């Protein structure tokens, strides 16, 4: 991009009726590493599946990308993405093809490299997904040896409104940071997630630092066992969700 392009972008971005979005590009780091400071390893993860049923549906695409961050939650190194497709062995719903762009031919004979995936995931101090409640059950079932590893959910664990955002969808949050990308492909989603984690909140701390702090807090799950049917609306208004497997 030349100086003229940059001036045109700056002029357009300064206009009250326009906002310039920049395409996400592969990146090696967002901050300079301090050789004297310690660091931790995170892994961004995303899956595409044959459907929403965690018990019956299967992963058709798994993407993971390792990154290193310092004590302030600043991302100082970004690894290369690893993406695997897998043949689910069942017919692919046309809606899934429309959503992801993946076809049965794309998946035929493909398999996830379990050893490589496990090596990366087991090295992580924290695994981050945007909607871990969806991704984690699929990953735990497909790679049971990783079950129990620490996860964090960038969608559910953060108070996005308090951080100056509206909404929780990944593409929407990223656009509010000034970027855009083609969604609904696992490799693009993990890059978008890493960009989002690197973004500075209004208090100057990174989104990642806020997420790590949230993930380390003690949390509790309250189950409304044997609640009467006529209490369902009150329970729903208080944030309860029906667990179809456990039936409470």
CA 204 vs CA 34, 156, 191: distances in Å: 18, 21, 22
What tokens appear for 231 in the block?
A: 């209490």
CA-CA distance, 90 to 15, in Å (whole number)? 51
Q: How many residues belong to the chain? A: 248
CA-CA distance, 73 to 128, in Å (whole number)? 13
Q: What is the mean pLDDT of the chain?
A: 92
List the Cα angle 212/216/218 in 5-degree steps.
Answer: 150
Please check the confidence at residue 1 and state whether its pLDDT lies above 70: no
Question: What pLDDT does residue 194 have?
Answer: 98
Mean pLDDT score, 241-246: 84
Radius of gyration of the chain (CA): 20
Nearest to 50 by CA among 8, 92, 11: 92
CA-CA distance, 4 to 55, in Å (whole number)? 54
Widest CA span of the chain, in angstroms?
Answer: 67
Question: What pLDDT does residue 182 have?
Answer: 83
Please check the confidence at residue 242 and state whether its pLDDT lies above 80: yes
Range of weakest confidence among 41-55, 73-87, 175-189: 175-189
Confidence of residue 178 (pLDDT cuts 50, 70, 90): very high
Q: Which tens digits make up the pLDDT trace of 100-112?
A: 989 999 999 999 9
3-class state of residue 9 by DSSP: helix
Please check the confidence at residue 165 and state whether its pLDDT lies above 90: yes
Range of weakest confidence among 63-67, 73-77, 148-152, 216-220: 216-220
Question: What pLDDT does residue 2 have?
Answer: 66
Mean pLDDT score, 163-183: 92
Nearest to 121 by CA among 143, 153, 88: 143
Please check the confidence at residue 179 and state whether its pLDDT lies above 90: yes
Share above pLDDT 70 across residues of the chain, in percent, rounded to a whole number: 98
Confidence of residue 243 (pLDDT cuts 50, 70, 90): confident
CA 59 vs CA 28, 49, 85, 107, 129: distances in Å: 28, 4, 8, 11, 15
Q: Which tens digits make up the pLDDT trace of 30-48?
A: 999 988 889 999 999 999 9
Please check the confidence at residue 224 and state whether its pLDDT lies above 90: yes
Q: Which tens digits make up the pLDDT trace of 8-33?
A: 888 887 888 888 889 999 999 999 99
Q: How many CA atoms lie within 13 A of 111 on its CB side?
A: 4
Question: What pLDDT does residue 54 have?
Answer: 87
């Amino acid at each position: 991009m030349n100086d003229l392009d940059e001036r045109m972008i700056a002029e357009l971005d300064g206009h009250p009726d326009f906002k310039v979005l920049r395409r996400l590009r592969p990146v090696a780091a967002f901050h300079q590493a301090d050789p004297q400071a310690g660091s931790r390893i995170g892994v961004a993860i995303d899956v595409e599946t044959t459907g929403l049923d965690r018990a019956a549906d299967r992963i058709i695409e798994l993407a993971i990308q390792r990154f290193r961050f310092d004590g302030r939650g600043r991302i100082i190194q970004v690894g290369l993405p690893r993406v695997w497709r897998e043949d689910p062995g069942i017919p692919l719903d046309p809606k899934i093809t429309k959503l992801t762009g993946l076809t049965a031919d794309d998946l035929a004979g493909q398999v996830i490299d379990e050893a490589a995936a496990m090596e990366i995931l087991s090295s992580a101090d924290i695994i981050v997904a945007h909607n871990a409640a969806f991704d984690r059950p699929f990953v735990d079932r497909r790679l049971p040896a990783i079950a129990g590893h620490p996860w964090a959910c960038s969608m559910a664990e953060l108070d996005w409104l308090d951080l100056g955002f509206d909404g929780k969808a990944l593409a929407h949050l990223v656009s509010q940071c000034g970027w855009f990308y083609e969604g609904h492909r696992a490799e693009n989603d993990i890059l978008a997630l890493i960009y989002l984690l690197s973004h500075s909140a209004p208090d100057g701390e990174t989104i990642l630092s806020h997420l790590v702090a949230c993930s380390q807090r003690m949390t509790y799950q309250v189950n409304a066992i044997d609640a009467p049917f006529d209490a369902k609306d009150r329970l729903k208004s208080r944030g309860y969700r029906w667990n179809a497997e456990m039936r409470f």
